[in-house]
Structure 1
Amino acid sequence: MTTPTISTLRCSCAASADANVDGFLECLKQDSSISSLVYTPTNPSYQSVLDFSIRNKRFLSNSTPKPLVIITPEYEHQIPHIICCAKQNQLQIRTRSGGHDFEGLSYVSEVPFVIIDLLKLSEVTVDAPHKTAWVGAGATLGMLYYNIAIESPRLGFPGGFCPTVGLGGHISGGGWGVLFRKYGLAADNVLDARIVDVNGRILDRDSMGEDLFWAIRGGGGSSFGVILAWKVRLVDVPERVTVFKTPRDSEKMPLNSFTVGSTSRLTLKRTYSSESSPQESPPRKE
C-alpha cells in the first residue's frame, strides 16, 4: 500500500495580501487555459459567481470576508497548477462544491484566501451493468439521480434528498440520506476517488493509499486535498414506490399547534390505526 503524505491545503499567509494576490495571478498566467476562468473583485461577474452557490444568506453581508480570487476550472488538469500557485504565494484555498456549507467554510475565511469553485466539474458517467458511476465533485445530487434514472429505473444512490447539494462536499462529510438504514452513508458506497493533494499530484485510490482514501470519505471537505471525482456504488431500488397524501384542515389543525413531538405522535397514531387491530390502544396523547 502506498503511504500517502496527508496534509491540508491551508498555508500560512504573509503580511501583505495584495502582494500575494499579485504573485498568484501572475503564476496563474503560466497556464493560458485558466485565464478566462479567473474572477477578481474588479471583474463584473465576480459578485454573481461568488453569490451563486452561497446557500446560507447571512454570508452575503458586506462584513463577510471575501475571496481575493475565484477560479472555476473546467478540467481536472488545471487544478494542480492553481494549488501550486496558491502554495507559492501563501494563500489559503477554499474549495466549493454546491455551497451547502452552512458554516461558510467553503467560501469564507478570516485570512486572505482564494476559492476553487468546482461547479464546472460536473460530469456524470453511469455504468448500469456494473452498478457504478463516476461523478465529478461539482455535480449535484440531482444531476446524479437524474443520470442514474436515465440509465436504469431500478438503480439508485444512497445520498441526501436535496437536489442542489454538491457531491464533493456531501460525500466528504459522510453523506447522510434517506436510504442510510439499508445501504449506509454515501461515503460507505465510494469505490474510488481522484484527488489533488497539496503537492499538486492527482491521485486515485491505489496511489493515495487506503489511509487517505478512508480519511476523505467523511473527514471533511478540502481537509486532505481537492476532490475531483468519486466512483460510487449504485444500489438496487424498487421500480415503483407507494406514496400517500394526508389532508389537513388548516382551521381545525393550525400549523403552529404542532411540535416535533406532537407530529411524531400523530404519525405514529396513523400507523397504528392502519395496521393495528381494533383491540390495540392508540398511542397516548400528552
Structure 2
Amino acid sequence: MATKPRLAYLPAIFVLLLVVFTSVTAQSPGPESSSLHDTFLQCLTKYTKNSSSQLSNIVFANTNPKFPTVLQNYIRNARFNTSSTPKPSLIVTPQKESHVQATVICAKSVNIQLKIRSGGHDYEGISYISDEPFIILDMFNFRRITVDIKNEVAVVQAGATLGEVYYRIWKKSKVHGFPAGVCPTVGVGGHFSGGGYGNMLRKYGLSVDNVIDAQIVDVKGNLLNRKTMGEDLFWAIRGGGGASFGVILSYTIKLVPVPETVTVFRVEKTLETNVTATDLVVQWQKVAPNTDDRLFMRLLLQPVSSKVVKGTITVRASVVALFLGGANEVVSILAKQFSLLGLKKENCTEVSWINSVLWWNDNNSLKNGVKPEALLDRNLNSAGFLKRKSDYVQNAISRDGLEWLFKRMIELGKTGLVFNPYGGKMSEIPSDATPFPHRKGNLYKIQYSVNWDDRSPGAALNFTNQAKRLFSYMTPFVSKNPRSAFLNYRDLDIGVNSFGENSFQEGVVYGTKYFNDNFQRLVKIKTIVDPENFFRNEQSIPVLRGKA
C-alpha cells in the first residue's frame, strides 16, 4: 500500500515553514501568555501543586539552549537527527509520578500529540518525531530499580536501561538474572511493552512472560497498577506496545535463576571454508530450535570481503551463543547434534552471567578488561545510521534456497541477516497468553540489519533500499497470511496510520502482522481505555470504527 511520506525526507525549507506554522497553531494561549511553554507550565503547576520555578527545570522549550542536547541524547538512529527532522515544541522530563499525570492532562488540554520516549531505540524514531505538532515526554529520569532477592522480584522504572537492570540484579545476587535484550542502552519502557527478546528466551521466554505487575498513567491522568487497571489492560501492555494505552511508569518483574558459570562462544564459517556457510546454516536450522533449552545460538549472515580471492565478496556465517552451563557440557551436546559447527572447548569462554552480558554487547569486552560498571554507561548522543526489518520462518530454507539467497546478499553488498532461534519455552506458551503471538510453529525470527556511516544525502536511500530488496527476496521463505513482524523491530514499511477516516483499516494492515489474531482484542481494549485515541503514533493500536 502507499504510505504517507515522512517529513524527515521533505525539503528543509518546507519543514522550516511547517515548524514556524506549528509554533503558532499548536499553542493554546493562557490568560497571561500566548506561548505554549508558559501555558503548559501553568497547567503543570496547577495539577502538580508545584511552583513554576520548581517545574521549569523539567520543561524545555525549543528555544531553550539545553533543548538540542536533551533531544539528541536519546536519539539512537541518526537518520532522524538531521536539520530537517521534525522537532517537538516541548520536551518534558518528569521526575515523579505527578509530573507524568499532569503532562498527560495538560497535553490533552492544549490538544497536542504526546510522544513517549524511554531509551530512544525505536528503530523508526517514532518516540521522538511526528508529522504533526507534538511534545516529547522523556522518561530518562525514571530509572529507579528496586531488587528484592528474597522474593526474587524487582520493580524497574520505564526509563531505566537494560544494562542498569542487569547491573542492579548482579549487585544483589550472582545467581539471578532476567531475560531481556542484549543491548544495554535499550530503555525498559519500550522494550518490555513490545515483548522483550533476549538470549535466554528458549529457557525463560520473553521479558513480558516474566512481568507480574505494572504502573501506568491512563488517558485521564490516573495512576493505575495491575489490580486497578484490570487484567485486560495489563495483558495489552505486555507485548502490545505501552504507548498505545498510556504512559508506563514501571514494571515488576520475576527474576530467574542463572548458574554461577555460563558459557559463551563464537564460531565463524564462510562460503570458502571446508564446512561452508551453507552447510552450517542447513544444520543450524535443524538444531538451534530443538536443542537443549539452556542453549541459545544466534546466527549472523553477513556479506564480507573474501580472504581467499581478493576483491571479491563472500558470505560469513557466525554462530554466537550463550549456554546456561559449563563448556564441557555444551561441547558434548553439540558434538552429537551440530557436528558441522566443530565446537571445541578452546572456542568457549566460561564466565559469570553478568560477564556474558558484557561479552554479548562486545565480544572483545572481557579481553579488554571491561567491568560490569560499564553497563551503567548510557552512551548519550551516539546515534548511528541504521535500518532494521523482521520476519518469521516456519519451514527450514532448503540448501538451494540458501545458495540463491547468498548470491542475492553478495549482489546487494551490505545488508546482513540475524537468525534468532525459537523452541524451548517459546513453544510452550500459548500464542494469546500475551499480545506477542509468535510462539509455537516458528523455527526462528529474522532481523534484517544494515548500518552505515555515510552522511551524504543519497546514502540513507541506498541502504534502506538494500534492506527492502533483501526483504523482498525472502518472500518465498517466510511466514504468510499474515507475513508476521516483531513490534520491537519497528518497521514503517509494513504500514502506517494517518489517523483519518480509514484509521482502523490502516491499523489492520500493520496490526495483524505484529499481533496476528491478538490484534482484534488489542483494538477492543484500546477503544475502552482511550476512545478518543489520544495515545497514538504511526503504528499504534487504532480504535474501533466510529469511536475515534
TM-score (norm 1): 0.83
Unpaired runs of 5+ residues, structure 2, are 1-21, 30-35, 270-305, 320-333, 346-398, 404-548
Q: Distance in 2 between matches of 1:101 and 1:244?
A: 29
Q: Distance in 2 between matches of 1:94 and 1:195?
A: 15
Quick check: 2:27–2:110 contact (8 Å CA) kept in 1?
no
Quick check: 1:98–1:165 contact (8 Å CA) kept in 2?
yes
Q: Distance in 2 between matches of 1:254 and 1:66?
A: 46
Q: Distance in 1 between matches of 2:212 and 2:225?
A: 10
SS state at 2:202 partner: helix
The aligned residue for residue 249 of structure 2 is 228
Report the AA paired with residue 17 of structure 1. Answer: A
The Cα shift of 1:160 comes to: 0.3
The aligned residue for residue 259 of structure 1 is 315
Q: Distance in 1 between matches of 2:64 and 2:110?
A: 21
Q: How does 1:85-234 map to 2 (within 5 A)?
A: 85-234=106-255
Q: Output the aligned Cα RMSD.
A: 2.9
* Identical residues among aligned pairs (%): 49
Report the AA paired with residue 26 of structure 2. Answer: A
Distance 1:144 1:256, change over 3 A: farther
Q: Distance in 2 between matches of 1:254 and 1:224?
A: 54
Q: 2:56 aligns with which of 10, 35, 42?
A: 35
Matched, 1:271 2:332: no
The Cα shift of 1:159 comes to: 0.2
The Cα shift of 1:251 comes to: 4.2
Report the AA paired with residue 250 of structure 2. Answer: A
The structure showing larger relative contact order (alpha-carbon pairs under 8 Å, at least 6 residues apart) is 1
Q: Distance in 2 between matches of 1:142 and 1:26?
A: 37
Quick check: 1:40–1:46 contact (8 Å CA) kept in 2?
yes
The Cα shift of 1:77 comes to: 2.0
User: What per-residue deviation string (whole Å, max 9, x for no partner) do you get for residues 75-132 of structure 1?
Assistant: 1121111111111110111110000001111101111111111101100010111110
Please identify runs of 4+ aligned residues in structure 1 that moved more than 6 A.
253-256
Q: Distance in 1 between matches of 2:310 and 2:177?
A: 37
Q: Distance in 2 between matches of 1:113 and 1:17?
A: 8
The aligned residue for residue 451 of structure 2 is none
Q: Distance in 1 between matches of 2:25 and 2:72?
A: 26
Distance 1:180 1:246, change over 3 A: closer
TM-score (norm 2): 0.45
Unpaired runs of 5+ residues, structure 1, are 1-12, 276-283
User: What per-residue deviation string (whole Å, max 9, x for no partner) do you get for residues 48-73 of structure 1?
Assistant: 00000000101111111111100111
The Cα shift of 1:269 comes to: 5.7
Quick check: 2:61–2:67 contact (8 Å CA) kept in 1?
yes
The aligned residue for residue 9 of structure 1 is none
Quick check: 1:28–1:35 contact (8 Å CA) kept in 2?
no
Report the AA paired with residue 182 of structure 1. Answer: K
Q: Which moved more, 1:67-76 or 1:33-42?
A: 33-42
Q: Distance in 2 between matches of 1:189 and 1:165?
A: 18
Q: 1:17 aligns with which of 21, 26, 40?
A: 26
Matched, 1:61 2:77: no
Report the AA paired with residue 24 of structure 1. Answer: F
The Cα shift of 1:241 comes to: 1.5
Report the AA paired with residue 100 of structure 1. Answer: H
